[in-house]
Chains A and B, each alone.
Chain A
Amino acid sequence: MNIRKNNTCPALQKLLNNFIKKETKDLFTKKSKLNVLKEGELKMFLDTGIPNKEIEGWRHTKLSWGEGTNNHVGGVSKKKLITPGFLLTIVNGQPRLKESNIPNYISLKELNTLSEDEALNLLKKTSCEKNVFTKLNNALVKSGFLLSVENPDLEIVLTIHYINTIPGVSQSRFYFQTANNVKLTIIEQFSSDEMTFQNNTSLWMVGEHSKVTKFRLGESGDENPRSTCINNQFVEQLGSSSFNSYSLYFNDGDFKIAGTIRNNSYYTLLSPLASCSVFSISKLAGQTHIDNNILMKHLAKDCESLQYFNGVFDQESSSVFNSSVWVEKGAQKSNTTQKNNSILLSKNSSFHSVPKLEIFADDVKCNHGATMGQLDERALFYFRSRGVSEEVAKNLILYTFLTEPLQNIETLGMKSIIQNDLKKQLNI
């Protein structure tokens, strides 16, 4: 039982082969429906192998293990944990209730306590043909939880602190489910001491008229420049629901990250009047690489989606915006926007933008636009001609550019927390 060889990093091949060998021991002895599905998923992963740069969707991201410069001195700089509301602490994918503070209308089930039917149904929602890492997670994941929110009368703010202490490969899976009319804000923060290869899956099921806002402050691999994180995120929205996501990727400041990050995000607007907004701001340096792969599916009429990604790339950092919007036949009056802008500060930084549209309805409004370039020399000159130094002018222009996607944040205090973090980074 070995992974097909695809001319990928031998160290990674070995790492994943060992992981699979260890995790499959005694796993599939019981022939249940769930195990049959899992076995099938594993076979698919083994037969396909680790994707390399020749595979569509992986052109700009090289997966490896133990390569690249490692100027990481070990240990994690103490971060400020923001906990404006309730707190949930997750260690290696498992909830730590003693170190948490959650109200009784949030129910939390660990993955291994789900009924077989429940587990099977959820697993079916998190498989993607084109993404073998969803299959590896489906097959072998052991830790995780299902978080359900019932109370429609209160606005809930929950900070989730994900702590990882496992070196090497780890997988977790997190399900979030809201009833109808729920208002939920999740603030995700991360700590990890180890060099890791993480392949995590999450599924967000947003009920009718519910509003979920998510802030991802950092990444599960934390500050280790040799860590790799693969995030397979599925979002399913019912009618009149809204999902707003803000992701920050900074190489500096309170939420600092490094390494290679691959986001595979699948958004599905299932019923009319759902709206989905995805915002991302990156300020990268070193060899940090962030690859965003997005599929935004409009399956019902009168839905809206917005993707707004702004990034500033210095040194040898790089990023990808590979996004498809799919508008199903019958999804009339869909309104979609893909917007991504990047500023390259060094000759060795790079950015790839691939916005795609597949439209099968005839009464829709779909916009996409990408800009890429250096700092606007004319704007810099204008500042300097008024006595502002180049450095100060540059930082002010970058600050303005990076905070553009944050204008509509409603969660109390979050906008200024992010703005202040950026101001500190840019000496403003």
Chain B
Amino acid sequence: MLVKNILMLKIENLHCEINNNPILKGLNLSVKPGETHAIMGPNGSGKSSLASVLVGNENYEVTKGEVLFLKKNLAELSIEERANLGMFLSFQYPVEIPGVSVSNFLKTAIGEQRKFKKLKAVKSVDLLKKMRKNLEMLEMGPEFLSRSINDGFSGGEKKRNEIFQMLMLDPKLIILDETDSGLDIDALKIVARGINKFRSKKNAFIVITHYQRLLNYIKPDYVHVLVDGKIVQSGNFELATELEKSGYDKYI
């Protein structure tokens, strides 16, 4: 019973700025395990900035407020500590790293995360098996593993690669930043299937998106409208449907 009451994430009155420009202006949000929250809003409202602040992008300065992630003060955690505790961002624009293969990248990340958790290293054979299984689910061939990470990937491949990493790293709090952008409808279905299979009582999702499209496949429990750095309205899935019809005009 106690577990249920533990918050995965608690954001209180969060203010942040970049190059002295205020972006988030008093954001509040609580996320419990098993929940999926959608954050919607017009361009420039601070959706991606929220994702960046949560994972620890050092270009953003938190000026006020507090974020607790699994009861720990986020401000005191390094980028890698956040990841090791189970935070995962599926990037809107994943970085290309020529020369580092997908499998090598993942092996390193999984190795480091297990070291952090004081767990024994996984056998290469077992890791490869798991990689193949997850690739299959995302309808990607095994040759994908030896390609340089994101280097020369199409928009769709980049997004699938992010979700592939999510499946492999088994995080607790997953932030999907515009995961639907650059995906055609078939790819979107495949990616959504991977995500839905991964959803459980133990993890939670924050889905950042402009459109309802993605939410048709990944049904959120809550929908929040972010405008000018603040959540101005919260509701259930119907709110997303409403927004799709009326747009964000009434909030601006």
Residues of A within 8 A of B (CB): 376, 378-379, 381-390, 392, 396-397, 400-401, 403-404
Q: Which B residues are CB-close (under 8 A) to A396?
A: 100, 104, 108
Chain B min CB distance to A426 (Å): 12
Are A392 and B112 CB-contacts (below 8 A) given A379-B97, A386-B169?
A: yes
**Cross-chain contact B80 with A397 (CB below 8 angstroms):** no
Cα A396 to Cα B80 in complex, Å, equals 16
Check: B179 CB closer than 8 A to any chain A CB. no
Check: B56 CB closer than 8 A to any chain A CB. yes
Question: Which of A384, A392, A403 is in CB contact (< 8 Å) with B79?
Answer: A384
**Cross-chain contact A381 with B79 (CB below 8 angstroms):** yes
Cα A390 to Cα B81 in complex, Å, equals 11
Measured CB to CB, the nearest residue on chain B to A382 is B95
Ordered by A's residue number, 13 sampled pairs between the chains whose C-beta atoms are within 8 Å are A379-B95, A381-B57, A383-B109, A384-B80, A384-B83, A385-B91, A386-B169, A387-B109, A388-B112, A400-B98, A400-B99, A403-B99, A404-B99
Cα A378 to Cα B165 in complex, Å, equals 18
Chain B min CB distance to A382 (Å): 4
Q: Which A residues are CB-close (under 8 A) to B95?
A: 376, 378-379, 381-382
Question: Which of A389, A400, A404 is in CB contact (< 8 Å) with B112?
Answer: A389
Q: Which residues 74-106 of B have a CB within 8 angstroms of A?
A: 78-80, 82-84, 88-89, 91, 94-95, 97-100, 104-105
Cα A401 to Cα B148 in complex, Å, equals 12
Q: Which B residues are CB-close (under 8 A) to A403?
A: 99
Cα A80 to Cα B98 in complex, Å, equals 32
Measured CB to CB, the nearest residue on chain A to B81 is A387
Cα A384 to Cα B78 in complex, Å, equals 9
Q: Which A residues are CB-close (under 8 A) to B94?
A: 382
- Size of the chain B interface, CB-CB below 8 angstroms: 27
Chain A min CB distance to B165 (Å): 7
**Cross-chain contact A385 with B112 (CB below 8 angstroms):** no
Are A387 and B100 CB-contacts (below 8 A) given A379-B95, A381-B95, A382-B94?
A: no
Chain A min CB distance to B122 (Å): 14
Interface string of B174-210 (1 = CB under 8 A from A): 0000000000000000000000000000000000000
Check: B251 CB closer than 8 A to any chain A CB. no
Are A386 and B109 CB-contacts (below 8 A) given A381-B57, A381-B95?
A: yes
Cα A397 to Cα B104 in complex, Å, equals 11
**Cross-chain contact A386 with B165 (CB below 8 angstroms):** yes
**Cross-chain contact B80 with A390 (CB below 8 angstroms):** yes
Cα A403 to Cα B99 in complex, Å, equals 9
**Cross-chain contact A389 with B108 (CB below 8 angstroms):** no
Secondary structure dominating the interface of B: helix
Cα A403 to Cα B108 in complex, Å, equals 18
Check: B212 CB closer than 8 A to any chain A CB. no
Q: Which B residues are CB-close (under 8 A) to A382?
A: 91, 94-95, 97
Chain A min CB distance to B162 (Å): 10
Chain A min CB distance to B166 (Å): 10
**Cross-chain contact B97 with A387 (CB below 8 angstroms):** no
Q: Which A residues are CB-close (under 8 A) to B88?
A: 386
Cα A400 to Cα B95 in complex, Å, equals 16
Q: Which A residues are CB-close (under 8 A) to B113?
A: 386-387
**Cross-chain contact A400 with B79 (CB below 8 angstroms):** no
Check: B223 CB closer than 8 A to any chain A CB. no
Cα A341 to Cα B112 in complex, Å, equals 29
Chain A min CB distance to B36 (Å): 21
Cα A381 to Cα B95 in complex, Å, equals 9
Cα A383 to Cα B91 in complex, Å, equals 12
Residue among B88, B95, B113 with the highest chain A CB neighbour number at 10 A: B95
**Cross-chain contact A400 with B100 (CB below 8 angstroms):** yes
Check: B240 CB closer than 8 A to any chain A CB. no
Cα A376 to Cα B21 in complex, Å, equals 25
Chain B min CB distance to A270 (Å): 36
Cα A400 to Cα B149 in complex, Å, equals 12
Check: B218 CB closer than 8 A to any chain A CB. no
Chain A min CB distance to B206 (Å): 15
Chain B min CB distance to A232 (Å): 34
Check: B225 CB closer than 8 A to any chain A CB. no
Measured CB to CB, the nearest residue on chain B to A402 is B99
Measured CB to CB, the nearest residue on chain A to B149 is A382
Are A385 and B99 CB-contacts (below 8 A) given A392-B112, A396-B108?
A: no
Check: B153 CB closer than 8 A to any chain A CB. no
Q: Which residues 32-74 of B have a CB within 8 angstroms of A?
A: 55-57
**Cross-chain contact B80 with A389 (CB below 8 angstroms):** yes
Q: Which B residues are CB-close (under 8 A) to A390?
A: 80
Chain A min CB distance to B105 (Å): 8
Measured CB to CB, the nearest residue on chain A to B117 is A387
Q: Which B residues are CB-close (under 8 A) to A384?
A: 56, 78-80, 83
Q: Which B residues are CB-close (under 8 A) to A378?
A: 95
Q: Which B residues are CB-close (under 8 A) to A387?
A: 80, 83-84, 109, 112-113, 116, 169
Q: Which B residues are CB-close (under 8 A) to A389?
A: 80, 112
Q: Which A residues are CB-close (under 8 A) to B57?
A: 381
Closest 9 CB pairs of A and B: A400-B99, A387-B83, A386-B109, A384-B79, A387-B113, A382-B95, A387-B84, A378-B95, A384-B80
Q: Which residues 110-163 of B have a CB within 8 angstroms of A?
A: 112-113, 116
Question: Which of A379, A388, A400, A401 is in CB contact (< 8 Å) with B80?
Answer: A388
Q: Which A residues are CB-close (under 8 A) to B109?
A: 383, 386-388
Chain B min CB distance to A398 (Å): 10
Measured CB to CB, the nearest residue on chain B to A407 is B99
Cα A378 to Cα B59 in complex, Å, equals 11
Measured CB to CB, the nearest residue on chain B to A378 is B95
Cα A282 to Cα B193 in complex, Å, equals 47
Cα A58 to Cα B169 in complex, Å, equals 53
Cα A85 to Cα B79 in complex, Å, equals 49
Cα A185 to Cα B100 in complex, Å, equals 30
Given A379-B95, A385-B80, A386-B113: 19 more A-B contacts, CB < 8 Å:
A376-B97, A381-B57, A381-B95, A382-B91, A382-B95, A383-B109, A385-B83, A386-B83, A386-B109, A386-B169, A387-B80, A387-B109, A388-B108, A390-B80, A392-B108, A397-B100, A400-B97, A400-B98, A400-B100
Cα A378 to Cα B95 in complex, Å, equals 7
Residue among A385, A400, A403 with the highest chain B CB neighbour number at 10 A: A385
